[in-house]
Structure 1
Amino acid sequence: MQHSRSTDSRAGVASIPTLLGACCFASMASLRACDTLLPALAAEFSVTLGQAARVILVFGVAYGIFQLVFGPLGDRFGKARVIALCALAGVIGNGMAFLSPDLDWLVAARIVSGAFAAGIFPLAMAWLGDNVPYESRQAALARLVSAGVMGMLGGQWLSGLIAQWVGWRPVFLVIAVLFLVVGALLWRAQRGEPPPAASGPTESGRFRTIAAAPASRRILAFVTLEGALALGALAFMPSLLQRQHGLSLATAGAIAACYGLGGILYTRTAVHLLRRFGETGLARLGGALLLVGLTSFAYVPLVQWAPVACLLAGFGFYGLHNTLQTRATQMAPAARGAAMSLFACCLFVGQSLGIMGVAWLADHEFGRLAYLCAGVGLALLGLMVAHRPSAAGSA
């Protein structure tokens, strides 16, 4: 009997990476679910596109702020355990969204959803940082990112498809059920994990220590800028397609989801690309592809080109972002939960700023200009990241 329990425990731990990917899938589906729904929400609640975009903005704000809560909790109580609880709690926010009687209620629901989603992806990356050697970590992170990208793809495309068939509310019901299933499975699997070691500094002390290092401050500044430029533009891709080309919700969502397909293509080629170009070359390549993809998405008038542009931009973003997040896993090896949460907090603070800027431009008929600015800015960021090679591997 003792041997049987030990075997079950090892099997549970072995399944954790797969379940972490499933939780990240659900988290990213929740994050991107409203991108394609913005025109439908604007029509439903008789508001402008920029006003409807509050449902994306507040998710990002809550996601960023609550990183600072769940990161230290993961270090203290176990990263997989906290992820499982956050996934189960994700049922609450998405259930509230399904029942929303008005836009204010939906905004509140998205705050709840963003708060609990905050405890999933960064802690999953931190779990890999604890369990995978640095030289193999970028490939392992790429597989985790692949699951998240699939969630983004589902959030953008399937939300439009569901909304076109049966309305926007069932989108959130589907996500709530998904969170319930993956959260329950991970809770069962993580019981085989050993408890975390005793914690050292306080939470505030950990954040101060991380932010005090010049290399960490540079990574955090880079990811904030990346979030503002890339994620702010991404949120409005389906809306721009519908406005410029008169596409349906499902078609616009499917084209925008090619951004996610570009990310999946990156994860499938990451190991080869790293051998060929290294981290610095990959950062430069990512910035260049973002420049081509985002600017051509906005300014090439052929709708047939839009899927290719989204694919290029998605491939470029994940090439650049995966380089940054791999370096981030070494900012504080003794407190990876806190470090990756601070990293994600900065990414989503940047996203919130970017969404506010793009929403203003969209409401004033300057939406395409946002993509030109984002493309140029991200190309320059890729050069800056490449100019500062990582010393993390020896950290």
Structure 2
Amino acid sequence: MRDRPLGAELRANSDKPVSTPAASDLTDSQGRMLVFLSFSAFASATNLRICDSLLPQIANEFSVTVGNAAAVVTAFAISYGLAQIGAGPLADARGKLFMISAGSLMAGVMTLACAAMPQLISLVAFRFLAGAGAAAVIPLAMAWIGDVVPYEKRQPILARFLSGQIMGIVCGQAMGGILGDFAGWRVTMLAVAALHLVAGSMLIVEMRRSGLGAVTAGRARWRQSAISTARVFQTPWVRVILATVFIEGFAMFGAFAFVGSELHARFGISLSTAGVMLATLGVGAMIYSMTAPTLVARLRQPGLVRYGSLGLAGGYLTLAVMPSAWFAVPAIMVMGLGFYMFHNTLQTNATQMAPEARGLAMSLFAFTLFVSQSVGVAVAAPIMDRWGGRPIFVVSALLLLVAAQWFRSRLLVRLA
């Protein structure tokens, strides 16, 4: 990636799709690297969602409310977002694959430490540090894909990569419930730490074997990154993407962090059962991953946004009014499909926000997404403690519909 400043070319390129000078198909070494990056995303997504099903257990051990225990979710998400400020520039200077492998190893070590924490405050602190390590994985992997895959072929490739993230969501939700029920939340943390450490080690071995992602001697240009960030924000389409993903993260994950606790409290189901139910989000998302080429070709991006948001809103409204816990299974599955129809469209557009500084651009995207998640959880926590999950789910459904339809209207203008 070139180190020259963003200029008029950025402003022109970010207003229309631009093809990067890359081969149409992945080479064998790039294909292998995609598999290892997908496994790293699996570990990162597992860690991100692992505490959703564990909140009642953590709250019980430390004698706090579920809303207070949710600080372990908020800390990880805040750190994940804030770390993007440094991850993007460092990746553009030192190499994306190097930063991904280093981040995976750091997340593994910090999650290992979480298992030994005797107090909630120290657990929250190490969850914060684990989030900083995990922050390097998914956005920088998408930036690497943006470097090697041309725009017109990028959305299906991103969907393939995201299969790892999707399976991580399934594993995180299910492992949090099942393993938490049978072995406790500390053993669950040890298992997640092992995933990160294996993923980071695999990436390092493949980098040495293939020669991809050689560590460069460049320095992170913080002043230039600040200037580039300001220029990125001057582009209207960039502001549309980032505003949309902020509302999406706020509404989707601010509410979803409490779905397991709501099922446990309202219907009296076990944490393991709630975890399996939450894991159906990943089943719906996997349906999208497997059918992405067909869906992209038939619905195009505006259609993906429209029907994806309808699925999301319908799922949350079902969770709010359902008379039985088992209605949650199809509702959450549809939400998984709908979320990735919507979010993968945002991701694909984000990879082209700033082709000359893609690491920075994807870091801004991830920063916005995860800060919005942490804000969403923090706003929803006192509501959950006082009134339960129903009002949270209804408001989230409405916000997701409004945000998606606004983004779709702007997208149609852009594609006209």
Pick the TM interval, shorter chain: over 0.9
Q: Are 1:170 and 2:192 an aligned pair? A: no
Equivalent residues of 2:56, 2:261 under 8 A apart: yes
Equivalent residues of 2:267, 2:324 under 8 A apart: no
Q: Secondary structure, in 3 states, of the residue corresponding to 2:233? A: helix
Equivalent residues of 2:244, 2:404 under 8 A apart: no
The structural deviation recorded for 1:29 is 0.5
Provide the C-alpha distance between the structure 2 equivalents of 1:194 and 1:84, rounded to a whole number of angstroms.
Answer: 10
Residue 310 of structure 2 corresponds to 288
Select 2:323's aligned residue among 292, 295, 301: 301
One-letter code aligned to 2:330: V
What does 1:171-190 align with in structure 2 at a 5 Å threshold?
A: 171-190=188-207
> Residues 52-72 of structure 1, C-alpha deviation per residue, up to 9 Å, x if partnerless?
000000111000000111111
Task: Decide whether aligned partners of structure 1 residues 178 and 366 sit closer, same or farther in structure 2, where only a CA change above 3 A counts.
Answer: closer
Residue 114 of structure 2 corresponds to 97
Residue 272 of structure 2 corresponds to 250
Residue 367 of structure 2 corresponds to 345
The structural deviation recorded for 1:206 is 2.1
Residue 234 of structure 1 corresponds to 256
Provide the C-alpha distance between the structure 2 equivalents of 1:101 and 1:253, rounded to a whole number of angstroms.
Answer: 24
The structural deviation recorded for 1:13 is 4.4
> Residues 248-282 of structure 1, C-alpha deviation per residue, up to 9 Å, x if partnerless?
11100000111111111111111111111110011
Select 2:299's aligned residue among 264, 277, 281: 277
Provide the C-alpha distance between the structure 2 equivalents of 1:35 and 1:81, rounded to a whole number of angstroms.
Answer: 30
Q: Are 1:364 and 2:402 an aligned pair? A: no
Equivalent residues of 1:61, 1:349 under 8 A apart: yes
The structural deviation recorded for 1:366 is 3.9
Task: Decide whether aligned partners of structure 1 residues 142 and 101 sit closer, same or farther in structure 2, where only a CA change above 3 A counts.
Answer: same
One-letter code aligned to 1:205: I
What does 1:182-221 align with in structure 2 at a 5 Å threshold?
A: 182-191=199-208, 192-193=211-212, 195=214, 202-221=224-243
One-letter code aligned to 1:217: R
One-letter code aligned to 2:311: L
> Residues 62-99 of structure 1, C-alpha deviation per residue, up to 9 Å, x if partnerless?
00000111111111111111100111111221111111
Equivalent residues of 1:35, 1:156 under 8 A apart: yes
Q: Secondary structure, in 3 states, of the residue corresponding to 1:100? A: coil
Equivalent residues of 1:68, 1:341 under 8 A apart: yes
The structural deviation recorded for 1:303 is 1.6
Q: Are 1:153 and 2:170 an aligned pair? A: yes
Equivalent residues of 2:97, 2:213 under 8 A apart: no
Provide the C-alpha distance between the structure 2 equivalents of 1:178 and 1:313, rounded to a whole number of angstroms.
Answer: 26
Provide the C-alpha distance between the structure 2 equivalents of 1:335 and 1:391, rounded to a whole number of angstroms.
Answer: 25
Equivalent residues of 2:111, 2:193 under 8 A apart: yes
One-letter code aligned to 1:59: F
The structural deviation recorded for 1:197 is 10
The structural deviation recorded for 1:352 is 1.0
Q: What RMSD in Å do the two structures reach over aligned CA positions?
A: 1.9
Provide the C-alpha distance between the structure 1 equivalents of 2:156 and 2:323, rounded to a whole number of angstroms.
Answer: 37
Residue 7 of structure 1 corresponds to none
Provide the C-alpha distance between the structure 2 equivalents of 1:43 and 1:157, rounded to a whole number of angstroms.
Answer: 20
Select 1:69's aligned residue among 79, 86, 92: 86
Residue 136 of structure 1 corresponds to 153
Q: Secondary structure, in 3 states, of the residue corresponding to 2:44? A: helix
Equivalent residues of 1:24, 1:148 under 8 A apart: yes
Q: Are 1:22 and 2:39 an aligned pair? A: yes
Provide the C-alpha distance between the structure 1 equivalents of 2:349 and 2:355, rounded to a whole number of angstroms.
Answer: 11
Task: Decide whether aligned partners of structure 1 residues 390 and 75 sit closer, same or farther in structure 2, where only a CA change above 3 A counts.
Answer: farther
Residue 16 of structure 2 corresponds to none
Unaligned runs of 5+ in 1: 1-9
Q: Are 1:51 and 2:68 an aligned pair? A: yes
One-letter code aligned to 1:160: G
Equivalent residues of 1:36, 1:160 under 8 A apart: yes
Provide the C-alpha distance between the structure 1 equivalents of 2:413 and 2:367, rounded to a whole number of angstroms.
Answer: 23
